[in-house]
Each structure stands twice: as C-alpha cells, then as structure tokens.
Amino acid sequence: AQKITQTQPGMFVQEKEAVTLDCTYDTSDPSYGLFWYKQPSSGEMIFLIYQGSYDQQNATEGRYSLNFQKARKSANLVISASQLGDSAMYFCAMRDVKWGDDKIIFGKGTRLHILP
C-alpha cells in the first residue's frame, strides 16, 4: 500500500538558514509522482515542487529543491535561504497514476517555524 512518512512534527530554523524537511515514501508501482505542498494558516494547499519517478535529475523551483533518492525511497525538500514567510505546514505527497487509482496521498506534515 502507498504510504508517506514525515518524521518531523515541527522544526525551528533561523531566518536565512537552509532547511531540510524529511519525507520517505512506500509504493510498489514503478510510475509515480512526488510533491511538496505548503499550507499557510489560511488553509490553501500551495504546490511547491514536483518530482517524477523517472526523472534523472532532482527537481528545483527557485529556493526549493527536492533531494530525490529513489533507492532509499526518500524525497526530502530543501529550502535555501529561509524567509519569515516560509513559516507554515509542509506536506509531502505522492500520486500513483494507473487506471482507476489516481489519487494523491499525504503525509502528516511538518510545521516549520522561521525565527527572526
């Protein structure tokens, strides 16, 4: 069965430092996508970054990068030069795509606090 594990319930990081949010996943399907979403207190889930299971290079989007280690089933999010506005909940998520089963499942999330 598909599963996403985020082992860090909360993190405190000094502004301008880099931060790594951990995520491991479990699936038996060869084709899948991995995502990170940010959820501020307003509730909206904001898409940050995507990594396909067949992508050879790690995904990057501005200050966000995804450290994809396929053999270890790990998809950690790295935020460089953190900002106060990065304080939010962060969710790792996975999507298997096959006929009749095309849903995204989420981990329990990590609450990130950026300290001034």
Partner 1 sequence: DAGVTQSPTHLIKTRGQQVTLRCSPKSGHDTVSWYQQALGQGPQFIFQYYEEEERQRGNFPDRFSGHQFPNYSSELNVNALLLGDSALYLCASSHDNLYGYTFGSGTRLTVV
Does residue 107 interact with partner 1 by CB under 8 A? yes
Spatial distance between the Cα atoms of 111 and 68, rounded to a whole number of angstroms: 21
Q: Of 99 and 116, which has the nearer Cβ to partner 1?
A: 99
C-alpha 18, offset from chain centre: 15
Least distance from partner 1 to the Cβ atom of residue 107, Å: 6
Beta bridge partners of 91: 37
Q: Which of 16, 103, 113, 115 binds partner 1 (CB under 8 A)?
A: 103
Spatial distance between the Cα atoms of 6 and 103, rounded to a whole number of angstroms: 19
Does residue 100 interact with partner 1 by CB under 8 A? yes
Between residue 29 and residue 48, which ones bind partner 1 under the rule CB under 8 A?
A: 31, 33, 35, 37, 42-47
- The answer to whether the beta carbons of residues 63 and 46 sit under 8 Å apart is no
C-alpha 42, offset from chain centre: 19
Q: Residues interacting with partner 1, by CB under 8 A?
A: 4, 31, 33, 35, 37, 42-47, 50, 52, 91, 93, 95, 97, 100-109
